[in-house]
Structure 1
């Protein structure tokens, strides 16, 4: 298999990572709920960090429901996708610094990190959706986060993630149609 075939294989078997984006819809819903409470901002931020922790198990469960090959061990590009995600962990140190320093901006920074980390998946999954949302999210969230409170940022991320999920589902459906036409 050449590189493009491996990328296509990854896109098909992992449905372009749709399970992770659907999991993020659930997590951003929870972040929004926390930031709508009357809790102190540092408590909200701490809970926000806790909320992000179950991303992998939640994505795994969603993968089972939508029939995604979660590990796709036969494709070496899966390891590259894991590396793309692991890279985001290093950037979370920035959000940890923001947490006590400028607490009202932590959700904004977290959302920008999340959005920016999507860029290499545009290449991996040959996805216009990933390219588009990886640029849109950091820029839009910076604009919103400077002007509005964290719950507005979380609500905006929830809407964006729903739109992103729909866009990816459309791309995945297109892949399925191509496979059906080719008899794959």
Structure 2
């Protein structure tokens, strides 16, 4: 297979990572719940926010089974590139850890920007307009919204973005499957 065929193969088998985006809807709902709780200490809320982001991968794994997407297409050499793109986000979490101490009221905003920005290379990998557009839209919009509004609003906007993103990916996946069967 040539490079484009490998990209299409990965996108088709993994349904363009839809399972991770659906899992992120659940994660952002959990973050919203944390910020709606009557907890006065902001450091407790930010720590809980970190804790509630950790089940992303197990949730995505379960969702991949439900939607019949390959969780990891190991036989495709580009799968390792997708993992590298994801691991890159772990390095950015160091920024969020600093924000936890320096400006805890902005940590949800920073997490959302990191999440949005890390989507960009997947636009190329999956040949997906949805990833490319949402990476920029999330990062820029959340930066502006997060400066003006509190973490509850940021979380609500992220849930909305993730739902729109999920629907867009479902459409892209269906179109990709139509092309594969024709």
TM-score by length of 1: 0.97
Question: Partner residue of 1:74?
Answer: 75
Distance 1:31 1:94 in 2: 18
How many corresponding residue pairs?
181
The Cα shift of 1:42 comes to 0.9
Deviations 1:127-182, CA, capped at 9 Å, x for gaps: 0000000000110001100000001001100000000000000000101111222x
Distance 2:104 2:72 in 1: 36
Question: Partner residue of 1:41?
Answer: 42
Question: Partner residue of 1:92?
Answer: 93
The Cα shift of 1:116 comes to 0.2
Aligned 1:104-183 pairs, distance under 5 A: 104-181=105-182
The Cα shift of 1:9 comes to 0.2
Which stretches of structure 1, 4 residues or more, deviate above 6 A after TM superposition? none
The Cα shift of 1:41 comes to 1.3
Question: Partner residue of 2:55?
Answer: 54
Structure 2 SS opposite 1:76: coil
Distance 1:128 1:41 in 2: 37
Distance 2:22 2:32 in 1: 16
Structure 2 SS opposite 1:70: coil
Distance 1:71 1:126 in 2: 17
Distance 1:62 1:151 in 2: 26
Distance 2:138 2:89 in 1: 15
Structure 2, unpaired ranges of 5+ = none
Question: Partner residue of 2:14?
Answer: 14
The Cα shift of 1:94 comes to 0.3
Q: CA RMSD in A?
A: 0.6
The Cα shift of 1:16 comes to 0.3
Distance 1:17 1:110 in 2: 19
